[in-house]
Structure 1
Amino acid sequence: MLVDPFFYLCAVPAILIFGMAKGGFGGGIAVVSVPLMSLAVSPMQAAAILLPILLVMDAVALWSFRGKWDKANIKILVPGAIVGIVLGSLGFRYLSEDMIRILIGVIAVVFCLNYWLKKALVDAKGPSVMRGSFWGALAGFTSFGIHAGGPPVNMYLLPQRMEKSLLMGTMAIFFAVVNVIKLVPYSLQGSFDGTNLLTAAVLMPVAPIGVRLGFYLLHKVSEQTIYRVCYFFLFVVGLKLLFDGFVGVLS
């Protein structure tokens, strides 16, 4: 088990933030969690420690949003995500974490700027096999690497302007399936050693607190505000990922 106090200083808020996003508040903010934990450990170790905790968050989120999810979108997104996870497990070793951050950052920032400046995505769009498969695959790929599948899924689901609980419930189902599938390649790569599993167990009680806090805030804030928060955090996180990625590549 890790005993470095600085690690826990980074890990506890990272897990709370991820949990709040799972609970429906903050949208893309969850992608800051692995980078935050990476201040104390390597990104790969941070991702390995976080995955079992995400499964607990998924269980709480599924219970919180039970019965509220869009079946058509799930049927489109999940097959694409499986393809993305397979590609990530095969090719992630050849693509650095910094390049992944740059990729996610570019997509997130461009998406938000398009929404704010051109308003091209204001009109509701329904489920699309072509768009959903692409964003689902990208979400599976980035989720495999640094648990950063939120921005690609947001880019597919947010323009549909679903009711906020339906939106978050759909995301809860999607990521629950994705995280269970990710257990296979993570196990095959030996990511779940004793140190990582014990550390995850110690941090596990923080997970449901974050999810329930996010769920509480979701139902105390207007739907319009939720979407504004989602786009705002998506943009901020995109800038942060771009900065971290370029710093890492150039260093």
Structure 2
Amino acid sequence: MPDLLPWAWALLALAAVTIGISKTALPGGSILAIALFAAVLPARTSTAAMLLLLMVGDVFALIAYRRHAHWPTLVRLAPAVVAGLLAGFAFLALAGDGIVRRAIGVILLLMIAVTLWRRWRQSRTDAATPAHGSILLASTYGTLGGFTTMVANAGGPVMSMYFLATRTQVQVFLGTSAWFFAIINLVKVPFLAGLGLFQPSVLLMDAALVPLVVIGALAGLWLARRMNQRLFDRIVIVLTIIGAVYLLF
């Protein structure tokens, strides 16, 4: 088990709960957990540790939304996502912890910018105007999504942007996202294992945090119909910006 101070365990506990909530109530909300993990652990270790907890959350997302996936969308995205995953793997293999740590900070800030721009665009775009899931669109978002999810588990906002651009209905959005990340996270395991990132201490730490992910996922299912999502989004964005700036400086 990693020798961490109580405040560090508290941050990891908060991150684990956030992972669960993000999987069942707030797609893309795990960027806060990314910042917390990377602030406490070495950058590459944080990516591996988070991956296993995200996979626990994937189970609950699939239970809740598995029937609503649009498989042609997943097939369209697959080639570009694979290319992005390979590029991210090469980056992790060649870069040291310091570079990866700053890269995670930059990625988080970019994801925040993407999220805010997405909402601004949504508010100004005529919802009646259809957008088509072209090959170029799928290639762009798929490659960026694959890279960011491999390096920092931060593909959520990128793929949310894609689903919004293609006017995906809410239930289809949630179901397709659930299957997308469940599959991608499984694919990432051998890559990170090949880099030797799944140390026994990481596995023990994740075992201690798994119950909190489960609690967060169950809380997310309960909160999905009740919480003020706008307020929650703002809190996540502010805390994530603070975490990203901390990682950079």
Q: Quickly name the TM-score band, shorter chain normalised.
A: 0.7 to 0.9
Partners of 1:108 and 1:40 in 2: CA distance: 21
Distance 1:45-1:91 versus aligned 2 partners, 3 A rule: closer
The Cα shift of 1:10 comes to 0.8
Given candidates 128, 131, 135, the residue that maps to 2:134 is: 128
Partners of 1:242 and 1:12 in 2: CA distance: 19
Question: What secondary structure sits across from 2:68 in the alignment?
Answer: coil
* Superposition RMSD in Å: 2.8
* 1:181 corresponds to: 187
Q: What amino acid does structure 2 have at the position aligned with 1:152?
A: V
Question: What secondary structure sits across from 2:66 in the alignment?
Answer: coil
Partners of 1:167 and 1:144 in 2: CA distance: 21
Q: Does 1:119 align with 2:124?
A: yes
* 1:243 corresponds to: 245
Q: What amino acid does structure 1 have at the position aligned with 2:57?
A: M
Question: What secondary structure sits across from 2:67 in the alignment?
Answer: coil
Distance 1:40-1:216 versus aligned 2 partners, 3 A rule: same
Distance 1:174-1:182 versus aligned 2 partners, 3 A rule: same
Distance 1:183-1:121 versus aligned 2 partners, 3 A rule: farther
Q: Does 1:7 align with 2:11?
A: no
Task: State the identity as a percent.
Answer: 24
Q: Is the 8 A contact 1:135 1:153 kept in 2?
A: yes
The Cα shift of 1:107 comes to 5.4
Question: What secondary structure sits across from 1:171 in the alignment?
Answer: helix
Partners of 2:174 and 2:15 in 1: CA distance: 20
Distance 1:104-1:128 versus aligned 2 partners, 3 A rule: farther
Q: What amino acid does structure 2 have at the position aligned with 1:43?
A: A
Map of 1:1-251 to 2, 5 A cutoff?
1-4=1-4, 5-25=6-26, 27-92=27-92, 93-94=94-95, 96-106=100-110, 108-109=112-113, 112-113=116-117, 115-116=119-120, 119-120=124-125, 122=127, 123-220=129-226, 236=238, 239-240=241-242, 243-244=245-246, 247-248=248-249
Partners of 2:106 and 2:8 in 1: CA distance: 25
Question: What secondary structure sits across from 2:30 in the alignment?
Answer: helix
| Structure 2: gaps spanning 5 or more residues | none
Q: What amino acid does structure 1 have at the position aligned with 2:43?
A: P
Partners of 2:180 and 2:165 in 1: CA distance: 17
Q: Is the 8 A contact 1:28 1:237 kept in 2?
A: no
The Cα shift of 1:47 comes to 1.8
Q: Comparing 146-155 with 202-211, which one deviates more in the overlay?
A: 202-211
Q: TM-score scaled to structure 2, two decimals?
A: 0.84
Q: May I ask how many residue pairs the two structures share in their alignment?
A: 242
Partners of 1:106 and 1:83 in 2: CA distance: 20
Q: What amino acid does structure 2 have at the position aligned with 1:16?
A: V
Question: What secondary structure sits across from 1:205 in the alignment?
Answer: helix
The Cα shift of 1:201 comes to 1.1
